[in-house]
């Protein structure tokens, strides 16, 4: 029976080795199980050359059916655990590095504590990962995803602040309008280009400024640290700079000109029945983000 799942995985991973790695099995076992399945059915499902595999005609038919059937079975079991209300097993989550450390970590800890039968694996990585391919249950990402096979649930508005170190401002003066940024060193994300456009919503509507600076990076913490050291002005998400702001190593500028906030999305595979463990985490995150947001985002000013 499990053979079916293995067979499907081998086909989807296009190879025994890849499939075995995906399922944390040895190649030996994988090969044997598929072979056993073929012998049970009395039909060859895969054409193997040692270098590549392909489905036989029968295998193609069987694969299509079995994949659907397995998916229905998963649905049935999900439906089951839904009415039991409790979740068990393993929940694999991925999130961006800094967000994961600063915001997610305490939430996840509380969540894991609330569900002792659930083992939570939190994988922090700034790369966007193929979530279904890696067997992940949920990805937390900033910005809307391209992969439309995923459900994207907005979790949290992420405010962004324009900040600089007090020493920098003392030396170069604080910009009063977005246009002033042109005369400053603006540290920005590395989108493979030297220039970046910052859009700020002022009293007269949005203003776009094409900034440039002496440093850019694909890592927000690098930018934050550089700003702290007085290298320039940064535009970063709240969680990235809140500590530096609290310690007065950075201070906000251009407060009348808010950059449009990002949104943090929870991404998870689209299914008939959303697994309970995903549902639980989702609800928990929405709740946690909502509670935490009251003070931080919606009712007033940042700390």
Partner DNA sequence: AAACACTATTGCGTAATTTGAAATAATCGG
Partner DNA sequence: CCGATTATTTCAAATTACGCAATAGTGTTT
Contacts with a second copy, residue ranges (CB under 8 A): 1-4, 41-43, 57-58, 61-62, 65-66, 69, 72-73, 75-77, 79-81, 83-84, 86, 88, 117
Q: How far is the CB of 43 from a second copy (least distance, A)?
A: 5
- Name which of 13 and 216 has its Cβ closer to DNA: 13
Choose the stretch contacting DNA; rule: CB under 7 A; options: 9-17, 151-159, 160-168, 201-209: 9-17
Decide if residue 53 touches DNA (CB under 7 A).
yes
What's the number of CA atoms in the CB half-sphere (13 Å) around residue 137?
Answer: 19
Which string of x and - marks every residue 16-35 that binds DNA (by CB under 7 A)?
xxx------xxxxx-xxxxx
How far is CA 119 from each of CA 101, 122, 129, 157, rounded to the nearest angstrom?
19, 10, 21, 28
Angstrom CA distances, 32 to 37, 103, 193, stand at 9, 45, 51
> Closest distance between a second copy and the C-beta of residue 109, in Å?
23
First-last CA distance in the chain: 56
* Nearer to a second copy (CB atom), residue 123 or residue 271: 271
Say how many residues touch DNA, by CB under 7 A. Answer: 22
Q: Which helix (H) or strand (E) holds 48?
A: strand 46-49
Q: Which is nearer to DNA, 33 or 103 (CB)?
A: 33
Residue 27 binds which entry of a second copy, DNA, none, CB below 5-8 Å type-dependent = DNA
Sign of CA dihedral 230, 231, 235, 236: negative
Site string for DNA, 221-240 (x = CB under 7 A): --------------------
Closest contact distance (angstroms) between CB of 16 and a second copy is 20
- Indicate the SS3 state at residue 115: coil
User: By C-beta, is 35 or 102 nearer to DNA?
Assistant: 35
Compute the distance between CA of residue 124 and CA of residue 160 in angstroms, rounded to an integer: 21
Longest CA–CA separation in the chain, Å: 81
CB 138 within 8 A of CB 115: no
Contact between 146 and 265 under an 8 Å Cβ cutoff? The reply is no
Both structure tokens of 279: 């549902």
77 binds, among a second copy, DNA, none (CB under 5 to 8 A by kind): a second copy
Q: Is 49 in the site for DNA (CB under 7 A)?
A: yes
Which residues lie near DNA (CB under 7 A)? 15-18, 25-29, 31-36, 46, 48-53
């Amino acid at each position: 029976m499990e053979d079916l799942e293995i067979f499907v995985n081998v086909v989807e991973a296009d190879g025994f080795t890849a499939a075995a790695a995906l399922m944390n099995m040895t190649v030996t076992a994988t090969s044997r199980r598929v072979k056993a399945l073929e012998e049970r059915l009395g039909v060859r499902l895969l054409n193997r050359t040692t270098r590549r595999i392909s489905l036989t005609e029968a295998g193609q038919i069987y694969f299509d059916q079995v994949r659907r059937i397995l998916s229905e079975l998963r649905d049935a079991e999900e439906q089951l655990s839904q009415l039991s209300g409790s979740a068990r097993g393993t929940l694999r989550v991925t999130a961006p590095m800094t967000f994961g450390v600063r915001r997610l970590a305490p939430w996840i800890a509380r969540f894991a504590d609330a569900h002792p039968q659930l083992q939570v694996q939190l994988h922090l990585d700034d790369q966007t990962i193929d979530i279904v391919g890696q067997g992940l249950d949920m990805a937390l990402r900033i910005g809307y995803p391209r992969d439309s096979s995923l459900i994207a649930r907005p979790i949290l508005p992420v405010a962004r602040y324009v900040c600089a170190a007090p020493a920098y401002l003392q030396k170069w003066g604080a910009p009063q309008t977005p246009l002033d940024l042109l005369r400053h060193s603006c540290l920005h994300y590395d989108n493979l280009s030297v220039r970046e456009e910052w859009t700020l919503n002022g009293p007269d509507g949005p203003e776009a400024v094409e900034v440039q600076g002496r440093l850019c990076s694909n890592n927000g913490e690098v930018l934050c640290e550089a700003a702290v050291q007085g290298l320039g002005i940064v535009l970063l998400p709240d969680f990235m700079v809140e500590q530096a702001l609290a310690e007065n190593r950075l201070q906000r500028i251009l407060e009348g000109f808010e950059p449009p906030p990002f949104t943090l999305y929870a991404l998870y595979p689209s299914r008939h029945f959303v697994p309970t463990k995903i549902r639980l985490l989702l609800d928990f995150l929405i709740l946690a983000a909502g509670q935490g947001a009251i003070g931080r985002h919606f009712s007033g000013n940042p700390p």
